[in-house]
Amino acid sequence: MDSGLREACVAALVVLAGSEDYVDRADAGRGLAPFAEVPAAARALTALLTDPQDTYVTLETARALLRRGDRAATAIVAAALADADADAEPWHGQYVYDAVREVSGLFAEDHAEAVRLAEELAAAPDTRLAKGAAALRGMLDEVQPVFGLPVRPPDRPTA
């Protein structure tokens, strides 16, 4: 892996994320998602999830991150949910929820992994991240996957 090339890609996509055109910003969200572990990409993705000008950007960025299905992407979604103002119009959490339904509502295995990641992040010492992960977990509770048997999470030891 060439970190210099990855950083150059992220830098170019971060510039695109600042475009006045909502299509450019949505493209940047989809393009930055594979680089979610890169700090500059994570900052831009968090901002795109709460795009003040167009909810299409929020929806497309959330879809791309949730399709990635790993801890880095899930943490970005959780952080954005923690920052989303529930009284704002539009409420960006609704568009994240739409993406959760689309991405996690197809296969039971993908849904179970999303639940596992949200639970893991909800236990994080970072209260902002934990708050957003709990909100994400609540969204996932409302999704019933179409394909596959529901995957029961492992039993947790009682304290």
What local confidence, expressed as pLDDT, does residue 148 receive? 83
Residue 118: other Cβ atoms inside 10 A: 26
What local confidence, expressed as pLDDT, does residue 18 receive? 97
What local confidence, expressed as pLDDT, does residue 37 receive? 96
What sign has the CA pseudo-torsion 42, 118, 113, 138? negative
Q: What is the pLDDT of residues 93-121, one digit of tens each?
A: 899 999 999 999 999 999 999 999 999 99
Q: Taking the domains of the chain in order of start, what are their residue ranges?
A: 3-141
pLDDT level of residue 140 (50, 70, 90 thresholds) = very high
CA-to-CA dists, residue 119 to 49, 81, 134, angstroms: 21, 15, 7
Q: What is the pLDDT of residues 123-137, one digit of tens each?
A: 999 999 999 999 999
Q: For residues 102-115, b (16+ Cβ closer than 10 Å) or e, as one string?
A: ebbbeebebbbbbb
| Rounded-to-integer distance, Cα 150 and Cα 155, Å | 15
What local confidence, expressed as pLDDT, does residue 125 receive? 96
Q: Does pLDDT of 90 surpass 70? A: no
CATH, domain 3-141, list 3.30.70, 1.10.1740, 1.10.3470, 1.25.10: 1.25.10
What local confidence, expressed as pLDDT, does residue 58 receive? 95
What local confidence, expressed as pLDDT, does residue 52 receive? 87
CA-to-CA dists, residue 132 to 84, 139, 155, angstroms: 9, 11, 23
| Rounded-to-integer distance, Cα 38 and Cα 32, Å | 9
What local confidence, expressed as pLDDT, does residue 158 receive? 62
